């Protein structure tokens, strides 16, 4: 994770954490959504 600071107009600073996912995590998430979408189109409720 990467730590950054966000500066507001009034001068306040706030810590922000960025969570970076690698390409494998993104591909797995997309594949899960595609399988779910496929399943839902096949259900006739």
- CA-to-CA distance for 7 and 13, rounded, in angstroms? 5
CB 21 within 8 A of CB 30: no
- CA-to-CA distance for 35 and 27, rounded, in angstroms? 12
pLDDT at 1: 52
* pTM (2 d.p.): 0.38
pLDDT at 39: 80
Return the structure tokens found at 27: 């591909």
- Counting every residue written for the chain, the total comes to 45
Can you give the pLDDT of all 45 residues of the chain as single tens digits?
567 777 888 988 888 766 666 666 777 778 888 888 878 788 866
**Domain total for the chain?**
1
pLDDT at 45: 60
- Tell me the residue range of the domain where 10 lies: 2-42
pLDDT at 10: 92
Element (H, E) at 14: strand 13-18
């Amino acid at each position: 994770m990467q730590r950054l600071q966000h500066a507001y107009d009034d001068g306040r600073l706030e810590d922000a954490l960025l969570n970076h996912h690698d390409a494998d995590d993104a591909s797995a998430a997309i594949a899960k959504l595609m399988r779910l979408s496929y399943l839902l189109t096949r259900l006739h409720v």
